[in-house]
Amino acid sequence: MAPSSSPQSPTGLDAAGAVCGTVCAAHCATTALAPALLAALGIGSTISAGFEWGATALAVAFGLIVLISDRGKQRPTWITATLIFGVVGLTAGRLLEVAEIEAVGPGLSIAAGLSLAAGHIGRLVLARRG
């Protein structure tokens, strides 16, 4: 039987989480490394503090939901570790950015977003293997 891909299933959550984590990392990299590009494209003004916190909350929520739903299940340690690092790192990175510690916050946010994506993708691969 093929795994379910509804939003409520672990596979659906992981697919959404993988996309969210990847988009988060790409957004953080773009925002940190290419602010002139954003301004040139006219989209720099759409990135407000509210958007940043909303996107962070969404990515963290997917990670937490999966971690909670996995409690007591046998999963590879690396998947749990990447999800935990992603949740903690993304939250810490955002707080560091708000505190204007720009040398650390964006880099931590990028790494954490990639970590969340890796954890979700790892779970998807395991689900497909059965």
Greatest mean pLDDT range, 6-20, 47-61, 75-89? 75-89
Q: How confident is the model at residue 6 (pLDDT cuts 50, 70, 90)?
A: very low
pLDDT above 90 as % of the chain: 8
On whether residue 112 sits in a domain, the answer given is: yes
The number of folded domains in the chain is 1
Question: For residues 78 and 94, what is the distance between their CA atoms, to the nearest angstrom?
Answer: 24
DSSP state letter for 45: G
Q: Which long-range contacts (CB under 8 A, 24 or more apart) does 19-23 make?
A: 20/58, 20/59, 20/62, 20/116, 20/117, 21/59, 21/62, 21/63, 21/86, 21/113, 21/114, 21/115, 21/116, 21/117, 21/118, 21/119, 21/120, 22/113, 22/114, 22/117, 23/113
Question: For residues 58 and 17, what is the distance between their CA atoms, to the nearest angstrom?
Answer: 9
For residue 66, the model assigns a pLDDT of 85
* pLDDT for 21 beyond 80: no
- Mean pLDDT across 77-85: 91
For residue 91, the model assigns a pLDDT of 92
On whether residue 1 sits in a domain, the answer given is: no
**Per the confidence metrics, is the pTM higher than 0.85?**
no
On whether residue 5 sits in a domain, the answer given is: no
For 17, the domain range is: 10-41+48-129
On whether residue 20 sits in a domain, the answer given is: yes
On whether residue 2 sits in a domain, the answer given is: no
On whether residue 103 sits in a domain, the answer given is: yes
